[in-house]
Amino acid sequence: MSHRTELQDTINDLVDGHRGILAADESNPTIARRFSAVEVESSEETRRAYRQMLLSTEGLEDAIAGVILYEETLRQSDDNGVPLPQLIATRGIVPGIKVDKGKGPLPGAPGDMITYGLDGLADRLQGYREQGARFAKWREVYPVSDYNPTPLGLSANAEMLARYAAQCQNEGIVPIVEPEVLIKGDHSITRSAEVHEQVWQAVFGALQRHGVVLEYMLLKPSMVTAGQDAATAPPDQVAELTLRALRRSVPLAVPSINFLSGGQAPAEATANLNALNQRRADGLWQLSFSFARALQGPALEAWHGKTENVPEAQAALALRARLSQLAMQGKYAP
């Protein structure tokens, strides 16, 4: 592989033992949904203003090592004409890019989904690199039922993640591999643990078949929790079952595991990450975060599309980032 030094440098910048990743890569339909909840219209300009607000937060670099951006944001600039990727890069935050193109049903596997976007990916990655992106993200989703994910769903989704990751490493871009087991439904935490093991084992089998170098990637998984319509499991149990499933499935060559928040409330996701780090034994992977909603939620509510609310919104983001950082050390007190 010709890009080893570059990939290692990016890993060193993203995995430093005390910072996590901010996911700010909502596609246009997703950000429109988030904006409409706070009665803000989604336009190119409101999206630019919102992302500028997030990315110019003072001290963001203290707790955040990388930000996942959306394609449109990579081309946008702040009020002073500074490109948004450059705005963060100059403060020691690595710009990243979401590269998948959404999802739909997987034919032949009722109830399972599959993500689009492999065609032309190499060309797109080269373009994103020129715009400053040094890492990428691709998400596959797994709805849970008594029958899902099916064996076909497990193997097809794992193949997609592996082909994406191999392509990224070929272009000198660190892949974040994101298999998200959805929280939707009333499944038990035991069922969630079973599905997570199946998913991670299928994903790592495929990554190894495709020659992906595990030292040069990050895993962005969901936590093992009960479905959102079932009784919430306590952080200790979430941590115990998540760590057990990880130990059974994820090689130690992976440098960091950066959890998504997946619809958990900010305090819940943070408490669960904290419990994970309190139980984490020495020599295991770094256990960090790559939250979108659990970092941005309170900031978006404070912002409400108004310039005069920017300081309050930035304070809300800085607080969630700092609390998530404390959870990485197992020192978060709600």
Query: What is the rounded CA–CA span in Å between residue 241 and residue 260?
Result: 16
* Of residues 20 and 149, the one with the C-beta less far from ligand 13P: 20
Residues in region 59-78 near ligand 13P by CB under 6 A: none
For strand 103-105 and strand 113-115, is the pairing parallel, antiparallel, or unpaired?
Answer: antiparallel
Question: Please, which of residues 201-240 interact with ligand 13P by CB under 6 A?
Answer: none
Find the part of the chain contacting ligand 13P (CB under 6 A) among 190-198, 241-249, 255-263, 273-281.
255-263
The span of 150-158, 205-213, 257-265, 323-331 binding ligand 13P (CB under 6 A) equals 257-265
Per-residue three-class SS string for 112-157: CEEECCCCCHHHHHHHHHHCCCCEEEEEEEECCCCCCCCHHHHHHH
Q: How many CA atoms lie within 13 A of 139 on its CB side?
A: 24
Q: What is the CA radius of gyration of the chain?
A: 19
Among 254, 292, 310, 318, contact with ligand 13P (rule: CB under 6 A): 292
User: Shortest distance, CB of residue 184 to ligand 13P, whole angstroms?
Assistant: 12
Judge whether 321 and 296 are in contact, CB under 8 Å.
Answer: no
Task: Tell whether omega for the bond before 235 is within 30 degrees of 0, i.e. cis.
Answer: no
Q: Stretches 110-118, 165-173, 280-288, 290-298: which one binds ligand 13P (CB under 6 A)? A: 290-298
**What's the N-to-C CA distance of the chain in angstroms?**
45
Tokens of 244: 């057990």
Shortest separation between residue 181's beta carbon and ligand 13P, angstroms:
11
Provide the mask over 123-162, with x wherever binding to ligand 13P is found by CB under 6 A and - wherever it is not.
----------------x-----------------------
Is 220 an annotated catalytic residue? yes
Q: Closest distance between ligand 13P and the C-beta of residue 33, in Å?
A: 12
Name the residues that contact ligand 13P, by CB under 6 A: 23, 139, 178, 260-262, 291-294
